[in-house]
């Protein structure tokens, strides 16, 4: 490893630093895992396929999860019917209205004709009104409990839908399928890698430069990568533009070099991860 580093070269001019033996690596890559336990039902993409963030890459057997969603939705509908049914309160209001009217008529009758209604009858009617008032409050309380239960059922539906969604393996970012690891019919556990996904629109040009560049180049300055092709001859096409993103704060004590990398714009698809070439960095004197 140290021999390889020692062989790297860099030339420093007034306006640029050129680093040889730079390697392109993916800036974003991932081993996309299964998110649930189960049988891998299908692989939706092939190696080399371009995908967008959120695209379905593979699916686990989700029949049980779909039934769970259907059950949760039926239970929600049942509780929704109870939580939106105010007939109990309306009935209590009507019964209370009749009882109060009856008690008022009895009271008015006694005012006109003394002792026309017995005190025990008045007590019964008053007790009936109080009972119906309590029943109305109980109906309101029951309706409030039903509404709380409806919220729980709403959460249960969302949980079931999330579990169903987790049976799909989806692309976390836009990229190219570099490797399909899983096979239909295999049993997988959460975290088991199913596919390898690589973003190729932005690449990382990484190499080592002499510590003498410190103070001459700065993070954020312009960088240009030129691939070495045709028997290691550096491409004369002018290279692909990028931005210097990192200069290591550590100097290797053996080689007196620092690790640097630049982000290269590869939206045109001119470059591939793994290619070698040279990286030209603009110096602070050229700014």
Write the pLDDT tens digit of every residue in 12-50: 555 678 998 899 999 999 999 999 999 999 999 999 999
Token pair 């550590």 is found at 250
Pull the structure tokens for residue 13. Answer: 């001019």
Residue 131 has pLDDT above 50, yes or no: yes
**Confidence (pLDDT) at 236:** 43
d(CA 261, CA 243): 9
**Confidence (pLDDT) at 6:** 39
Which residue did the predictor score with more confidence, 193 or 135? 193
Per DSSP, the three-state class of 261 is strand
> For 169, left (φ over 0), alpha (ψ -120 to 50), or beta?
beta
**Confidence (pLDDT) at 287:** 52
Write the pLDDT tens digit of every residue in 221-265: 999 999 986 544 444 456 899 999 999 999 999 999 999 999 999
Please compute Rg for the chain using Cα positions: 38
Which residue did the predictor score with more confidence, 4 or 91? 91
Looking at the chain, the whole-number percentage of residues with pLDDT higher than 90 is: 60
Per DSSP, the three-state class of 129 is helix
pLDDT band at residue 2 under the 50/70/90 scheme? very low
d(CA 171, CA 189): 18
Residue 187 has pLDDT above 80, yes or no: yes
Token pair 């975290």 is found at 191
For residue 234, the 8-state DSSP code is E
**Confidence (pLDDT) at 162:** 97
Please give the average per-residue pLDDT across 3-16, as a whole number.
53
Residue 111 has pLDDT above 90, yes or no: no
Write the pLDDT tens digit of every residue in 48-67: 999 999 999 999 999 999 99
pLDDT band at residue 107 under the 50/70/90 scheme? confident
- Residue 137: what are its φ and ψ, rounded to 5°? -65, -35
Alpha helices in 166-252 (DSSP H): none
Looking at the chain, the whole-number percentage of residues with pLDDT higher than 70 is: 90
Count of CB atoms within 10 A of residue 45's CB? 19
Tell me the whole-structure pTM to 2 decimals.
0.71
d(CA 217, CA 213): 6
User: In the predicted model, what is the mean pLDDT of the chain?
Assistant: 87
pLDDT band at residue 119 under the 50/70/90 scheme? confident
d(CA 36, CA 192): 9
Please give the average per-residue pLDDT across 99-124, as a whole number.
79
Residue 103 has pLDDT above 70, yes or no: yes
C-alpha separations of 108 from 95, 101, 104, 111, 230 in Å: 20, 10, 6, 5, 113
Which residue did the predictor score with more confidence, 236 or 161? 161
């Amino acid at each position: 490893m140290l021999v390889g580093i020692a062989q790297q070269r860099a030339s420093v001019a007034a306006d640029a630093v050129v680093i040889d033996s730079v390697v392109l690596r993916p800036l974003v890559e991932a081993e996309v895992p299964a998110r649930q336990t189960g049988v891998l039902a299908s692989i939706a993409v092939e190696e080399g396929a371009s995908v967008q963030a959120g695209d379905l890459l593979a699916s686990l057997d989700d029949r049980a999860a779909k039934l769970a969603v259907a059950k949760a939705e039926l239970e929600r509908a049942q509780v929704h019917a109870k939580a939106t049914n105010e007939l109990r309160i309306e009935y209590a209001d009507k019964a209370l209205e009749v009882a109060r009217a009856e008690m008022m008529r009895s009271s008015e009758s006694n005012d006109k004709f003394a002792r026309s209604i017995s005190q025990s009858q008045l007590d019964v009617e008053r007790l009936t009104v109080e009972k119906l008032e309590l029943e109305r409050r109980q109906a309101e309380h029951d309706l409030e409990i039903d509404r709380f239960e409806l919220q729980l059922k709403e959460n249960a539906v969302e949980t079931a839908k999330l579990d169903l969604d987790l049976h799909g393996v989806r692309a976390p970012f836009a990229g190219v399928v570099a490797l399909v690891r899983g096979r239909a019919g295999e049993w997988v556990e959460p975290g088991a890698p199913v596919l390898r996904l690589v973003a190729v629109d932005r690449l990382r040009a990484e190499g080592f430069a002499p510590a003498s560049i410190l103070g001459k180049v700065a993070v954020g300055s312009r960088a240009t990568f030129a691939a070495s092709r045709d028997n290691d001859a550096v491409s004369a096409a002018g290279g692909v533009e990028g931005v210097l993103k990192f200069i290591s704060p550590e100097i290797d004590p053996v080689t007196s070099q620092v690790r640097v990398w630049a982000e290269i714009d590869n939206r045109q698809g001119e470059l591939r991860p793994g290619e070698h070439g040279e990286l030209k960095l603009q110096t602070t004197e050229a700014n």
